[in-house]
Amino acid sequence: MTQTDKTIAVVKGLIMDGVAKANSGHPGGAMSSADYATILFSEFLNFNPDDPQWFNRDRFILSAGHESMLLYSLLHLNGFISIEDIKNFRQFGSLTPGHPEVHLTPGVEATTGPLGQGLAMSVGFATAEAYLREKLGADVMDHYTYVLSSDGDLQEPIAMGAAALAGLWNLGKLIVFYDSNKIQLAGPTCKADCTDHRKVFEGLCWQVLEVDGHNHDEIRKAIRGAQMETGKPTLIIGHTTMAKGCASMEGSHKTHGEPLKADEIKATKKKLGLPEEDFYVPGDVVAEYRARFDGLRKNAADWRAMVDGKLSDKDFAKMWGHVTKPRPELSIEWPEFTPGESMATRKAWGTCLDAVMESLPTLVGGSADLDPSNQTANFRNTYGDFAVDGYGARNLAFGVREFNMAAIMNGIQLHGGLLPFGATFLTFSDYCRNAIRMSALQELPVLYVFTHDSFWVGEDGPTHQPIEHVSSLRLIPGLIDLRPADANETKVCLDIALKQEKMPSTLFLTRQGLPILDPAEFPAILDGPRRGGYVLKDCDGTPDLILVASGSEVSLCLETAKLFKRKVRVVSMPSAKLFDDQPESYKNDVLPPEVTARAAAEAGRTPLWHKYVGLNGVVLGVDHFGASAPGKTLSDKYGFTPENFARMIREKY
């Protein structure tokens, strides 16, 4: 038995013991991938043993997140987590949850539960590396992005879309190992898939290498071959056996999602040359595994000294400052807008983007093939399409791939150093939704720009007219909803989004023009959105009636208020999330409990608004699908007029 064989056997022992102690987990795939992952970590992976967040480290993304015990075992050998952490696998409050979580465990690069998204996020990692390498120099940014993927990953369509972009973008430092054990939870993969992955990935402009995933020399040769190919991403297809090394259950789909029985573990340890001891990690394995750590530390220290030396170059220092500056410290000069003019908030977003894109060189992103509609065309024309026009180009031409766009943005944000945004129509946020959820779960401050936010889309009809989407996205914990009332609120909402540290933001923007409100008349508009909801227009004393709205319906409320002789307060609520997070005292100042005459308006589903106007409050909204007709026609038909809104209120109060 070689030292590598012994280390792999120890890793497999930890996998079996950790899953068995938790009585929950996925040992089979972790064992089939153990040869590749252990060799990668112990011989190839460049990292700093003293700092899991060292900036120029190689990134390893376990896209097959169910194989988490494999990753935790290797992170233990790295010294990042303890044996007690391994023993607490899948327990409440532990550093070793069922699927890796980036904000919990040192050495975990991405939260990978939903299959396919890890691979898609890895494209974002590699994109960030390529852009920063171009801007900072290959001596500063020069690392690989390694991925371990499974049959299930490649069955998720998001993987193919992300792979298509990686191939188009020639991401040569992206290396994916596909653990092809031909087993999934329900049985053999042949029952669900007939894909020739070599043909598919070669057709997507990848280098494809095939190896025996248990032959250590072939694994090493493939990794070196992948590193040598700089013009294409590489897929290493590792033909493996599920639960490799098991005494009697090799190849069984039952090992995919079930702990091995005690007698099977005992027999398997004997077969692997391990003692029966639980969580066995001998000193010689640790010593051999960490033999290169001093060299890794020196490499990281030399890199740090080199970067410090380059800071004397003003151009480098300026770019390095942008890359490393905390988001709350961003200084952004937003444009001014002319009160009284009419401007769609999507146009206001485009104007803001044009105004700040030069001063924010780390701002990268694009549209899902809707550049003119999403107002990103000038950004694209100014800075070019990433990779196609060079790696310093900043527009990411995602194509009609909304889900991929969202996951790739997550990867860019996880990598660090850049400010990613992505844009599409609001109705297509459904395609992005699980990646948006993963943005929030991973505490990633990415920016989602959703235009065409209501039935005012008009003639495109109900397929393109959002109804439930804003309310639906508000259900995701930790996600900031931003639906600005005009151009001035739009720039404040953008400032909120770009200065976030942990929460993603969704910006909901109109196609139709809205009146630009005058800050001289409505001074609260310049800062009020930061608290989610605020008093835009007030009355003397305690109001008789409070009107609440977001987005395009704020102007409707202002016009409706003029139709009443009683005292009316108008509250703009661009963000229900930010308002809900305010102290109770502030919320009561904006919406005094004693004022029960309340009405709300939003061009979408109505139920959420009863939270603010009461169960018996008036809500003007849309609880049905739209129709194909001019937006003004639909507005009249659906009652979004001051006269109709006032009538509804008078009938109630």
- The domains found in the chain, sorted by start residue, are 3-295 (3.40.50.970), 327-515 (3.40.50.970), 531-652 (3.40.50.920)
User: Average of pLDDT values for 208-234?
Assistant: 98
Distance CA(84)–CA(80), nearest Å, equals: 12
Is 90 exceeded by the pLDDT of residue 626?
yes
* Torsion angles phi and psi, residue 396, rounded to 5: -100, 105
The one-character DSSP state at 45 is -
Q: Which pLDDT value is given to residue 303?
A: 98
Q: Is 322 annotated as a binding residue?
A: no
Q: Which pLDDT value is given to residue 1?
A: 87
Query: SS3 for 537?
Result: strand
422's tokens = 């992505």
Distance CA(298)–CA(457), nearest Å, equals: 58
Question: pLDDT digit string (tens) for 152-211?
Answer: 999 999 999 999 999 999 999 999 999 999 999 898 999 999 999 999 999 999 999 999
332's tokens = 């952004």
* Torsion angles phi and psi, residue 319, rounded to 5: -70, -40
Average pLDDT over the chain reads 97
117's tokens = 């998204």
Q: How many CA atoms lie within 13 A of 194 on its CB side?
A: 0
Q: Is 399 annotated as a binding residue?
A: no
Q: Which pLDDT value is given to residue 569?
A: 98
Residue 92: count of CB within 10 angstroms of its CB: 6
623's tokens = 């609880």
User: Average of pLDDT values for 546-572?
Assistant: 98
Q: Strand 545-549 vs strand 480-482: parallel, antiparallel, or unpaired?
A: unpaired
Q: Which pLDDT value is given to residue 533?
A: 98
Is 90 exceeded by the pLDDT of residue 605?
yes
Is 90 exceeded by the pLDDT of residue 482?
yes
Q: Is 151 annotated as a binding residue?
A: yes
Distance CA(566)–CA(581), nearest Å, equals: 31
Is 90 exceeded by the pLDDT of residue 361?
yes
User: Average of pLDDT values for 19-43?
Assistant: 98
Contacts of 145 (CB under 8 A, 6+ apart): 58, 59, 61, 122, 125, 126, 129, 171, 173, 174, 175
Q: Is 469 annotated as a binding residue?
A: no
Q: Which pLDDT value is given to residue 97?
A: 98
The one-character DSSP state at 260 is P
Conformation bin of residue 384: beta by default, left when phi > 0, alpha when psi is -120 to 50: left
Per-residue 3-state assignment (H helix, E strand, C coil) for 151-184: HHHHHCHHHHHHHHHHHHCCCCCEEEEEEECCEE
CB 618 within 8 A of CB 649: yes
User: Average of pLDDT values for 381-406?
Assistant: 98
Active site residues: 402
Question: pLDDT digit string (tens) for 409-457?
Answer: 999 999 999 999 999 999 999 999 999 999 999 999 999 999 999 999 9
Question: pLDDT digit string (tens) for 53-71?
Answer: 999 999 999 999 999 999 9
Q: Is 114 annotated as a binding residue?
A: yes
Question: pLDDT digit string (tens) for 560-570?
Answer: 999 999 999 99
What distance lies between CA 334 and its chain's CA centroid? 26
User: Average of pLDDT values for 3-20?
Assistant: 98
* Torsion angles phi and psi, residue 395, rounded to 5: -85, 130
The runs of H, that is alpha helices, within 25-105 are 27-32, 34-39, 68-78, 83-87
Is 90 exceeded by the pLDDT of residue 22?
yes
Question: pLDDT digit string (tens) for 449-465?
Answer: 999 999 999 999 999 99
Q: Is 152 annotated as a binding residue?
A: yes
The CA–CA distances, whole Å, from 3 to 7, 179, 192, 289, 401 equal 6, 23, 38, 9, 45
Q: Which helix (H) or strand (E) holds 11?
A: helix 3-22
Q: Which pLDDT value is given to residue 137?
A: 98
Query: SS3 for 404?
Result: helix
* Torsion angles phi and psi, residue 632, rounded to 5: -65, -40
- How many residues are recorded in the chain? 653
Q: Is 373 annotated as a binding residue?
A: yes
Give the dihedral sign, CA 470/474/478/480.
positive
- Picking from 539, 566, 572, the residue whose alpha carbon sits closest to that of residue 553 is 572
The one-character DSSP state at 350 is H
Q: Which pLDDT value is given to residue 126?
A: 98
Q: Is 238 annotated as a binding residue?
A: no
Distance CA(330)–CA(345), nearest Å, equals: 23
Query: SS3 for 549?
Result: strand
Distance CA(371)–CA(378), nearest Å, equals: 8
